[in-house]
Amino acid sequence: MIVIAIDGPAGAGKGTLARRLADHYRLNLLDTGLTYRAVAYALLQHALPLDNVSAAETAARQVDLAKLDRAMLSAHAVGEAASKVAVYPTVRRILVEKQRDFAKTPPGAVLDGRDIGTVVCPDADIKLYVTASAEVRAQRRLAEIESIGGSANFSEILADIVRRDERDMGRADSPLKPADDAHLLDTSEMAIEAAFLAAKTIIDDALAKRDKA
């Protein structure tokens, strides 16, 4: 069993890195952000306010990890709404339980999110905290939108990113922060391949130490 926890702010490149690592180490993969997005999406679909906690709890109970539809949940507005429902401890508890069950399933998993190393899998074999400057993250998001033919305004994206960071780092329950034993990986000046190689070095090292112990 190997569990790899990846945390960090929106747009730091966690998702791509998590996918590469899951492929490489042949592990299951869970983007936990999608679980919060699924709750937000359900509320938006039913035109319910995002502070309707009991509706959010019901939606959280109905989240099926095997049926998370990335394309449906990827909209920027869904991510914003997700960070609003993610402040409710009861909603988090329901989703965290599902995420923990996933992590326990052989042969192990790569999970990415905001609280994986601190709350969901505090005993993970390896914890990575992936960051990049807000400007670089906004630039990447802009390039992503433009690559699929969309258009957006850099300063609006940057303002959104800064606001989301504040909400995720400032909430009382499970705020975004590196676990004490996390390895920090700043990808501001790294392409995905370099970030993957840096993460692989950290992981191979940790696994070699674990196997020796």
Q: Which helix (H) or strand (E) holds 137?
A: helix 134-147
Classify residue 124 as exposed, middle or buried by CB count within 10 Å of its CB (0-12, 13-18, 19+): buried
Q: What binding mask, one character per residue, do residues 156-175 give for ligand C5P by CB under 6 A, x or -?
A: --------x---x-------
- Considering only 17, 113, 117, 121, the residue that binds ligand C5P (CB under 6 A) is 113
Strand-pairing partners, residue 131, are 186
Q: What binding mask, one character per residue, do residues 24-53 give for ligand C5P by CB under 6 A, x or -?
A: --------xx--xx----------------
- Answer for the pair 111, 14: CB distance below 8 angstroms, yes or no: no
Closest distance to ligand C5P from the beta carbon of 209 (Å):
26
User: Torsions phi, psi of 159, nearest 5?
Assistant: -65, -40
Q: Is 102 in the site for ligand C5P (CB under 6 A)?
A: no
Q: Is 79 in the site for ligand C5P (CB under 6 A)?
A: yes
Q: In what order do the strands lie in the sheet with 126-131?
A: 28-31, 108-113, 2-7, 126-131, 183-186
Nearer to ligand C5P, 37 or 140 (CB): 37
Closest distance to ligand C5P from the beta carbon of 168 (Å):
5
Give residues in contact with ligand C5P (CB under 6 A): 10, 32-33, 36-37, 79, 82-83, 86, 113-115, 164, 168
